[in-house]
Amino acid sequence: MAEEVRVWEVGKDDVLTEIGPTTLDLEERIEKWTVRDISVLDPCLLVIGEQVPTAFGKYIDLLCINATGDLVIVELKRDKTPREVVAQALDYASWVKDLTAEEIREIAERYLKETDLEAAFRDKFNAALPEVINERHAMRVAASEIDNSTERIIRYLSESYGVDINVVRFQFFQAADGRQLLVRTFTVAPDEADKNVKKQPGKRTPPPTPEEMEQAAVQAGVGDLYRQCKQSLAPYFTIRNTKFTCAFFAKLPEGQRATFSLVPGESNAEKGLRYTVASNRLAAFVGLDENTTLKQFPPHREQTEPYLSDGPPPTCWAGYIKSEDDVRRIASLFKKAARADVEQAE
């Protein structure tokens, strides 16, 4: 049974006066409140799209992202039955689950307009956008009422299959003196829903810590080169560890993008420290053409596939850093670019 909420006002001499619910224009007002301030639904959501077109001609009311980089579909009941809007949310989820990181960025940029997804995420959650986004997805239906049949469906999907779907029910109460109260309840308690979701396996695994990545370099016989390279390039990049790499992210017009990576797991004392470089991105970052940029890297490079799918596929090369001179030549690229920026500013 859907949860019943009753509200009383505590008056003088502890006299209780019940405040009755009203549904007058409530669905329309819920839509207005939710669009204006998503925190009434969940304070840990960032809206990245409104009326987002899907591949099959339908539109998602609100598309959000949470603090772990998962997408959240928000559907508003409007004139639909609870069962209809839940079915619609499930239908949209079948499309959302396959969105790539670049498609998500494009959706966000159309909505956010004056900023990009990385900056908006950092402003909202005070953290960098996770390396893997859209590992999981969730569905939230905002409504003023839910029937018993729909509640059973929601609980079945959550409890039996760990589907992250919930109906957020808003009830509106108005006292005799005109004061208005809004009450929010969930079909599945948030703590319970979270436990159900975590029972299901995900594709996100924690990346190695900086210490673990450095230890992998030491074990490969390239610990000194790894430390020197990381220390020399740190002033110019945002550094994040991925599953296999120490990745260096540069601020480009399209947002933060991986431009250079160190790969301890594919390194050894004989060949050297394995690196990959996205030459087109790095050239844009330092303001040089690709050929000039690549000349600063050790010879005997080979074209390879990028480790990260964080935008349009870059032109990526791989090779080995074998000496301190190699590190200095690479670092000189960024020193020159930094000096040029200062001179231009002056």
Residue ranges of domains in the chain, CATH in brackets: 7-198 (3.40.1350.10), 210-345 (no CATH)
Encoded tokens for 330: 């690479």
Q: Report CA 140 to chain centroid distance, whole Å.
A: 17
- pLDDT by residue (tens digit) across 130-176? 878 898 899 999 988 889 999 999 999 999 999 999 999 998 888 88
pLDDT computed for residue 341 by the predictor? 40
Q: Which of 211-225, 266-280, 328-342 has the lowest mean pLDDT?
A: 328-342
The residue-averaged pLDDT of 296-308 equals 82
The residue-averaged pLDDT of 310-322 equals 81
Taking the C-alpha atoms of residue 242 and residue 333, their distance in angstroms, rounded to an integer, is 24
pLDDT of 79 above 90: no
Are 233 and 260 contacting, i.e. CB atoms less than 8 angstroms apart? yes
Encoded tokens for 171: 């009830």
pLDDT of 346 above 50: no
Mean pLDDT of the chain: 87
Q: Burial-class residue 91 by CB neighbours within 10 Å (0-12, 13-18, 19+).
A: middle
The residue-averaged pLDDT of 25-32 equals 82
pLDDT computed for residue 17 by the predictor? 85
pLDDT of 288 above 70: yes
Q: Per DSSP, what are the bridge partners of residue 277?
A: 260, 317
- Helix 223-233 vs helix 210-219: crossing angle, to nearest 10: 140
- pLDDT by residue (tens digit) across 173-215? 888 888 888 889 999 998 999 888 877 765 555 678 899 999 9
pLDDT computed for residue 202 by the predictor? 57
Helices (H), 273-323: 279-286, 290-294
pLDDT computed for residue 3 by the predictor? 61
Q: Which of 5-14, 185-194, 231-240, 293-302 has the lowest mean pLDDT?
A: 5-14
Q: Which of 94-108, 215-229, 233-247 has the lowest mean pLDDT?
A: 233-247
pLDDT computed for residue 206 by the predictor? 63
Encoded tokens for 168: 């957020």
The residue-averaged pLDDT of 37-50 equals 95
